[in-house]
């Protein structure tokens, strides 16, 4: 069940937060973000790849489809490598601000009040290494995400008319990351998005003062309309690899199944100095290993 907060600005959010904790209503996905998106993800602005072509990703990058129900995940990915789980302990952001949870700025004016509302001690979290639990981090994120989401639709009521959900997500993340900026300082960005001048909107984002990685991703997505991440290498498993001691007794057998990424390493305690390597049942040679503990990781063509 989703959380519904009253239309209150920062100073009044603590009342809503307290209510959330009392009734225990959390319609939040606490799973960690995917490995591809964590920490703001890679930027496709590699000079060797050339400029990003609208609607396409440069060489070496894959397109990630962003849907309207992915906005929370996108904003969380831009906030740090922990994704929706967040960091329980305070950490230093790119611009010298301290953050906690999922991109919660400990220097926002109402930070102390909001941490108190979720049952955390502001000073202990800020300076003494006290950690939030996942529930506290989730409530803070939900409150600040909804604040940015509502602000986006207040500034641009027809935001949903933009066909690319990725651009909608980028605008919401800009507002999430610039929660203390007045509306007037973001009007140029809103006007550019309204007129669908996404190149201009990207330039405006470049000039904003917030986390470098998130800003680069928001700017790229606003300009091109797509989210690009580095392609993961394709690892092909062997058909069948058997490793045996020279005396012929089986030690390790890799069946030809699809591996997880990265390909699993197998630790093997051995006393033999020589093992034989068999491919599809055919002896292809011996290896002098002379070991007691060895990590074997074979990929054969």
Q: Where are the domains of the chain?
A: 10-230, 241-296
What is the average per-residue pLDDT within 55-77? 84
Assigned fold of 10-230:
Lysozyme (1.10.530)
- pLDDT value at residue 227: 87
With bands split at pLDDT 50, 70 and 90, how would you rate the model's confidence at 247?
A: low
- pLDDT value at residue 235: 58
Place of tokens 């040679």: 285
What is the average per-residue pLDDT within 62-91? 90
What is the average per-residue pLDDT within 123-143? 94
- pLDDT value at residue 298: 42
Percentage of residues of the chain with pLDDT beyond 90: 43
- pLDDT value at residue 262: 44
What is the average per-residue pLDDT within 85-112? 91
Which residue did the predictor score with more confidence, 114 or 259? Answer: 114
pLDDT digits (tens, 9 = 90+) for 254-293: 444 444 444 444 444 444 456 666 666 666 666 655 544 4
pTM for the full model? 0.62
User: In whole numbers, what is the pLDDT of the chain averaged over residues?
Assistant: 73
């Amino acid at each position: 069940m989703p959380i519904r907060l009253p239309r209150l600005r920062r100073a009044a959010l603590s009342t809503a937060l307290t209510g959330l904790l009392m009734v225990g209503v959390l319609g939040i996905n606490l799973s960690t973000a995917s490995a591809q998106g964590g920490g703001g993800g890679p930027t496709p602005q590699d000079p060797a790849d050339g400029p990003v072509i609208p609607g396409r990703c440069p060489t070496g990058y894959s397109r990630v489809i962003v849907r309207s129900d992915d906005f929370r995940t996108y904003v969380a990915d831009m906030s740090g490598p922990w994704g929706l789980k967040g960091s329980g302990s305070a950490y230093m952001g790119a611009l010298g601000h301290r953050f906690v949870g999922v991109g919660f700025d400990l220097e926002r004016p109402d930070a102390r009040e909001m941490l108190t509302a979720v049952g955390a001690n502001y000073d202990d979290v800020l300076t003494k290494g006290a950690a939030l639990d996942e529930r506290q981090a989730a409530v803070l994120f939900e409150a600040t995400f909804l604040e940015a989401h509502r602000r986006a639709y207040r500034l641009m009521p027809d935001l949903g008319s933009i066909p690319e959900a990725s651009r909608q997500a980028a605008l919401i993340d800009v507002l999430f990351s610039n929660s203390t900026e007045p509306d007037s300082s973001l009007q140029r960005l809103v006007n550019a998005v309204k007129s669908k001048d996404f190149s201009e909107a990207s330039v405006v984002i470049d000039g904003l003062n917030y986390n470098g990685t998130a800003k680069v991703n928001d700017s790229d997505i606003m300009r091109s309309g797509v989210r690009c991440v580095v392609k993961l290498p394709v690892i092909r498993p062997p058909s069948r690899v058997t490793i045996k001691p020279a005396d012929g007794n089986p030690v390790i057998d890799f069946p030809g199944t699809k591996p997880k990424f990265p390909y699993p390493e197998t630790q093997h305690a051995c006393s033999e100095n020589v093992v034989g390597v068999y491919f599809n049942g055919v002896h292809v040679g011996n290896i002098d290993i002379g070991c007691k503990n060895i990590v074997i990781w074979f990929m054969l063509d």
